[in-house]
C-alpha cells in the first residue's frame, strides 16, 4: 500500500492550520532578510538552509535512495515549486506590503484549477469559470490600488504584483504535477529534493547579486527562521497534507496564510491594512473559492465546459 493511501484517512485540520501559521510568517521574515540580502540570495539561502535541515533527516529515514532515484523529475519540479516562486516573493516584499503579497499568493488555487482544466482535462463548471473571472478582476483592482499608493515607484509595484502572480501560477502548476505524477514519493523526499534543487537553480544568480555589505545579525536571524521553520518544517508538513487530502483542499491553505500574513504584517511591520485592500482581497478569495469548487451550487446539475 502506498504512502498516499495510508495517509489519506489521517486527521488533517491541525496540520492545515499549523502550515498556515508558519507560512504566514514567511512574508515577514523574507521582508527583513531581503532588505539586506536581496531577492536571489534570500531565496537561495532560504532553500539551502531548508535543504541542509532535510538531508540528514532523509538519511536517517533511509529515503536518500528514493530521492536520488527520482532526481530528474524532482529537479525539474523544484524550479516551479520553489526556485521561481521564492525569488519572486523575495523581490515583491521589498516593494509591496507583505499582506498584499499574501493575498496575491492566495490566487494559487485558482491557477491550480485552470492548469487542471487546460492541461489535465478536468472539467470546470460554469460557476467555477465565473470564479476565475471574479478572481482576476479582484487582482486587477488590487494592482491598481497598489500602484496608486506608490507614486514614483508605480512600475516596481506593478512588477511586484506580476511577480507574485507568476509565483502563484508556478505553485498551481507544480502542485498538479506533484499530485498527479509523484504520489508514490514520500513527502519528505519531495520537500528535501525540491529545496535542494531550488538551491542549485538559484546558486548562480545569487552569487552574481550577493550584497556588498555584510548583512546584520537581524537579517541572518530572519533568514535562519525562514530556512528552518518556514521552509524545512513547513514543506514537510505541506507535502504531508498534499498526500492526505485532495489538491483543492491542500492549495486552499493559502486563504488562511493570508489571514496570518496580514496579522503579522500589521503587528510587527506596522503595515496599514486599507478597506480597499480588504475589499479586493475578499473579491479575490471569493473568486478563487468559486474557481476551485469550494463554493458550489447545491443539488443542481452542473453545465460543464
**Contact of 122 with 180, CB cutoff 8 Å:** no
CA pseudo-torsion sign 192, 98, 28, 200: positive
Closest CA to 180 of 107, 250, 105, 84: 250
Specify the higher pLDDT residue, 86 or 111. 86
Q: What is the pTM of this model?
A: 0.81
| 240-261 pLDDT per residue, tens | 887 787 666 677 787 788 888 8
Q: Which of 252, 220, 281 is nearest to 96 (CA)?
A: 281
Give me the pLDDT at residue 87, please: 96
Burial class (CB in 10 A: 0-12, 13-18, 19+), 174: buried
pLDDT at 305 over 70: no
Q: Given this model, what pLDDT does residue 10 score?
A: 60
User: Quick one: which of 92, 138, 132, 140 has its CA closest to 115?
Assistant: 132
- pLDDT tens figures, 257-300: 888 888 898 888 888 777 887 888 788 778 777 766 666 666 55
How far apart are the C-alpha atoms of 125 and 110, rounded to whole Å? 13
pLDDT digits (tens, 9 = 90+) for 20-57: 899 999 999 999 999 999 999 999 999 999 999 999 99
Amino acid at each position: 500500500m502506498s504512502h498516499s493511501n495510508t495517509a489519506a484517512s489521517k486527521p488533517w485540520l491541525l496540520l492545515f492550520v499549523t502550515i498556515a501559521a508558519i507560512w504566514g510568517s514567511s512574508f515577514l521574515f523574507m521582508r527583513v532578510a531581503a532588505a539586506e540580502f536581496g531577492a536571489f540570495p534570500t531565496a537561495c539561502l532560504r532553500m539551502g538552509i531548508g535543504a541542509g535541515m532535510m538531508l540528514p533527516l532523509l538519511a536517517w529515514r533511509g529515503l536518500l535512495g528514493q530521492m536520488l532515484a527520482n532526481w530528474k523529475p524532482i529537479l525539474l519540479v523544484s524550479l516551479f515549486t520553489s526556485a521561481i516562486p521564492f525569488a519572486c516573493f523575495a523581490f515583491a516584499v521589498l516593494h509591496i506590503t507583505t499582506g498584499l503579497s499574501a493575498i496575491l499568493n492566495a490566487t494559487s488555487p485558482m491557477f491550480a484549477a485552470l492548469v487542471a482544466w487546460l492541461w489535465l482535462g478536468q472539467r470546470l463548471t460554469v460557476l467555477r469559470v465565473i470564479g476565475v473571472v471574479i478572481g482576476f478582476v479582484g487582482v486587477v483592482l488590487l494592482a491598481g490600488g497598489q500602484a496608486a499608493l506608490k507614486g514614483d515607484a508605480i512600475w516596481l509595484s506593478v512588477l511586484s504584483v506580476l511577480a507574485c502572480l507568476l509565483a502563484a501560477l508556478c505553485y498551481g502548476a507544480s502542485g498538479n504535477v506533484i499530485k498527479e505524477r509523484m504520489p508514490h514519493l514520500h513527502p519528505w523526499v519531495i520537500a528535501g529534493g525540491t529545496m535542494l534543487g531550488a538551491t542549485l537553480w538559484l546558486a548562480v544568480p545569487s552569487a552574481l547579486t550577493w550584497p556588498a555589505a555584510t548583512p546584520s545579525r537581524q537579517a541572518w536571524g530572519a533568514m535562519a527562521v525562514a530556512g528552518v521553520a518556514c521552509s524545512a518544517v513547513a514543506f514537510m508538513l505541506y507535502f504531508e497534507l498534499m498526500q492526505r487530502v485532495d489538491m483543492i483542499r491542500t492549495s486552499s491553505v493559502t486563504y488562511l496564510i493570508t489571514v496570518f500574513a496580514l496579522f503579522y504584517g500589521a503587528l510587527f511591520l506596522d503595515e496599514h491594512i486599507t478597506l480597499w485592500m480588504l475589499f479586493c482581497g475578499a473579491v479575490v478569495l471569493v473568486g478563487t473559492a468559486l474557481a476551485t469548487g469550494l463554493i458550489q451550487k447545491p443539488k443542481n446539475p452542473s453545465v460543464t465546459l
